[in-house]
Amino acid sequence: MGFVARNFRDYKVWQESVAYASKIYKVTSNMPWFEKKGLCDQLQRAVVSISSNIAEGAAKPSDADFARFLDIALGSAYEVETQLLISMNIGYIKDDIYGGLLKDILSIEKQLTTLIRYIRKNSKPHL
């Protein structure tokens, strides 16, 4: 029996991270023009990396590989969280917008952490 890829579209964390990326793109569209190749670009790349790594990892045949890609997605989520704080600190994002975005990214981070733990705990060793 051959490997059947996981359907990344079924993962709630993937769905939420795609929706979250759209929010971030809207927020970054209001950043100053001179940040388009700086913080704005970095934030966009990091946020897209979250859902992209979930999707890419879902295609891997082993649970260990899937978990590794989820680790990368989690790292990107932490990167987004950091860049949002910097954006708020320098006045590119208002406090109330930051609060909502922070709540969402913390939820994504929690879901990724839970999924990673579940996969690693329930992974069967290959003999």
The H-assigned helical ranges of the chain are 12-28, 39-58, 63-89, 95-122
The domain containing residue 97 runs over which residues? 8-122
CA 49 and chain centroid, separation? 6
Give residue-wise pLDDT tens across range 6-57. 999 999 999 999 999 999 999 999 888 777 788 999 999 999 999 999 999 9
Q: Give the per-residue pLDDT at 37.
A: 81
pLDDT value, residue 5: 77
98 domain residue, yes or no: yes
Q: Which pLDDT value is given to residue 3?
A: 61
Extract the tokens encoding 126.
């290959």
User: Mean pLDDT across the stretch 93-105?
Assistant: 97
Query: Which CATH number does the domain housing residue 103 bear?
Result: 1.20.1440.60
Kindly report the number of other CB atoms within 10 A of residue 6's CB atom: 17
All residues at 6 or more sequence positions from 99 whose CB lies less than 8 Å from its CB, including other chains = none
At 79 the pLDDT is 98
Residue 1 lies in a domain: no
The verdict on residue 3 lying in a domain is: no
